[in-house]
Every structure is written in structure tokens, then in C-alpha cells.
Amino acid sequence: MEKLLKKSPLAARTLLGLTFLVFGLNGFLQFLPMPEHSAEAGVFLAGLSTGAYFFPLLKITEIAAGILLLSNRWVPLALILLAPIMVNIVAFHLFLEPGGMPMAALLTALQLYLAWVYRASYQTVLEARVAPETARAAVKATA
């Protein structure tokens, strides 16, 4: 059981990283077919695509975060980058495309688990008032 617990963060990072890397790359290379969307979801996605920068920025962020997770580099930063994306994925499936909610729930569970595993990295981020010297000292102490 202890061996399984030690491997769990690796499995969660790999699964979350691969998911965002593949779907991020799919945004540019289109090797996976896009599913049919409801009328409401189609209108929403069309609205987002009218801003020429939005989807490229989204997909580049997904690719970068996926690579960071897979390479085990700056994992807390990758999780922060993915947090607003995950909020939108969950909201999209909750309100517009409920059929995708199981996948959104799985990705959310993986992200929350990893955030918990790396919770020490967020210590100063979650403090209401932190002096710059304190933040630097905390970073040095964890390095």
C-alpha cells in the first residue's frame, strides 16, 4: 500500500499532463475529431473563437502546463496555470455539455489531489500578508 501511495503523484501528474498535452496539441494539429456540440455550446465556442488570440493562448498554456507536469518541473506553477482552465472546463460541462462532466470531474480530482500533494509550495501564496523578505526566506528554506 505504501508503494502505491508513493507512485500516486507520479500517476496523477502523468495522466493530467498527458491529457493537457494531447488536447493542447490537438488544438493546433487537429488529429482528434471534435465532438458535436449542443446549440448553446456551439454559440459559446463561436463567441470565444471570434477573439483571434483566445484559443491559441489557451492551447499554448495547456501544452506548456502538460510538459511541466510530465517533466516534473515547476509542477505547482503548472497547477496554477491550469486552475482557471479547469474552472472553465467544469463550468462548460456543468452548464452546456453535461455529457463531458465525468471527464471534467476526473481531471478536477487529479488537479486537486496534486495541489494537496504540493500544498507546501503554496504556503506563502495563501498568506494574507507576506513581506518580500519572508517570501524569499520561505523559498530558500524549501530549496
Global pTM exceeds 0.75: yes
The tens digit of pLDDT for each residue in 1-47 reads 677 677 899 999 999 999 999 999 999 999 999 888 999 999 999 99
Report pLDDT for 79: 97
Q: What is the DSSP letter of 27?
A: H
- Distance in angstroms (rounded) separating the CA atoms of residues 44 and 88: 12
User: What are the sequence ranges of the domains in the chain?
Assistant: 10-142
110-121 residue pLDDT tens? 999 999 999 999
In this structure, are residues 15 and 64 in contact, taking their beta carbons and an 8 Å threshold? no
d(CA 21, CA 26): 8
Can you count the helices (H) and strands (E) in the chain? Answer: 6, 0
Residue of 43, 42, 46 lying closest to 54 (CA atoms): 46
